[in-house]
């Protein structure tokens, strides 16, 4: 966040937008990944 601090405006807006964008991408990826593979189970091994 410090790397994106705008000293002229005393603002972290760019950093917060990048953080929110990353979180949104992660959320969409998670929803898509879970939707594609809802029932991945490990078969029981009988000895």
Using alpha carbons, list the distances in angstroms from residue 32 to 5, 6, 35, 36: 33, 35, 5, 6
Q: Model confidence at 37, in pLDDT bands (50, 70, 90)?
A: low
Which has the higher per-residue pLDDT, 18 or 40? 18
Which has the higher per-residue pLDDT, 7 or 37? 7
For residue 16, pLDDT beyond 70: yes
Answer yes or no: pTM beyond 0.75. no
Buried b (16+ CB within 10 A) or exposed e, 15-45: eeeeeeeeeeeeeeeeeeeeeeeeeeeeeee
In this prediction, residue 22 carries a pLDDT of: 97
Which has the higher per-residue pLDDT, 19 or 38? 19
Using alpha carbons, list the distances in angstroms from residue 41 to 4, 6, 20, 29, 34: 43, 49, 33, 21, 13
């Amino acid at each position: 966040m410090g790397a994106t601090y705008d000293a002229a405006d005393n603002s972290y807006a760019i950093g917060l937008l990048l953080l929110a964008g990353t979180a949104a991408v992660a959320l969409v990826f998670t929803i898509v990944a879970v939707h594609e593979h809802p029932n991945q189970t490990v078969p029981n091994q009988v000895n």
